[in-house]
């Protein structure tokens, strides 16, 4: 039996496509996780974006489960912004939604420990995958509570969007 190069490519393609991604009803699931350098880049970019706008903030980046991966804080940011940024990221990660949008839908959860229903928590969802979340605290509100924090969080995510989409750092 003689196998040609195109034949090998077809066989190789078959095994790559059938082993890299499990069947929908398979015995396990696959997930993508953000690396620490990517999380650090999000945090530092979000903090720098807020600083450029004249805001002193804290930025927390969590994994998809709400566990802290990276943190950045302007030395002039209030001490309370540390915990609040972590809570915003935790909430955005565990509910997989921006806290600015969740505030109305989940108003009945107000006062729940570790949850923050104020803008500034944004999930890192890129290319249909959930990687984690960013929480920013310390910027003054423009129109709604946390809207400036929300914008800085998005700036951090935008800084890594291409890296994640194309698998580079």
Query: Could you read off the pLDDT of 134-165 as tens digits, one per residue?
Result: 999 999 998 988 999 999 999 999 999 999 98
- Say if 5 falls within a structural domain: no
- Say if 10 falls within a structural domain: no
pLDDT, tens digit (0-9, with 9 covering 90-100), for 102-141: 988 998 998 899 999 999 999 999 999 999 999 999 999 9
- Say if 2 falls within a structural domain: no
CA quadruple 136, 142, 144, 149: dihedral, nearest 10: -10
- Say if 21 falls within a structural domain: no
Domain of residue 128 covers 36-166
- Say if 15 falls within a structural domain: no
Strand order, beta sheet including 121-126: 68-73, 58-63, 129-137, 121-126
Domain count, the chain: 1
46, pLDDT greater than 60 = yes
- Say if 103 falls within a structural domain: yes
- Say if 7 falls within a structural domain: no
CATH number of the domain enclosing 73? 3.30.450.150
* d(C-alpha 117, C-alpha 148), whole Å: 15
This prediction has a pTM of: 0.82
Assess contact for 87 and 116: CB atoms under 8 A: yes
Alpha helices, H only, 53-146:
80-95, 99-105
- Say if 76 falls within a structural domain: yes
């Amino acid at each position: 039996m003689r196998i040609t190069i195109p034949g090998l490519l077809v066989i190789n393609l078959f095994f790559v496509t059938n082993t890299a991604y499990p069947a929908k009803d398979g015995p396990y699931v696959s997930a993508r996780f953000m690396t620490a350098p990517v999380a650090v880049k999000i945090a530092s970019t979000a903090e720098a974006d807020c600083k450029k706008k004249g805001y002193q903030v804290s930025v927390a980046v969590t994994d998809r489960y709400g566990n802290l991966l990276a943190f950045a804080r302007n030395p002039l940011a209030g001490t309370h912004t540390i915990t609040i940024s972590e809570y915003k990221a935790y909430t955005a990660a565990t509910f997989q939604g921006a806290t600015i949008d969740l505030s109305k839908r989940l108003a009945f959860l107000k006062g729940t420990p570790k949850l923050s229903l104020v803008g500034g928590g944004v999930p890192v969802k890129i290319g249909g995958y959930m990687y984690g979340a960013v929480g920013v605290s310390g910027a003054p509100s423009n129109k709604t509570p946390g809207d400036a924090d929300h914008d800085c969080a998005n700036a951090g995510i935008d800084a890594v969007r291409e890296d994640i989409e194309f698998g580079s750092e």
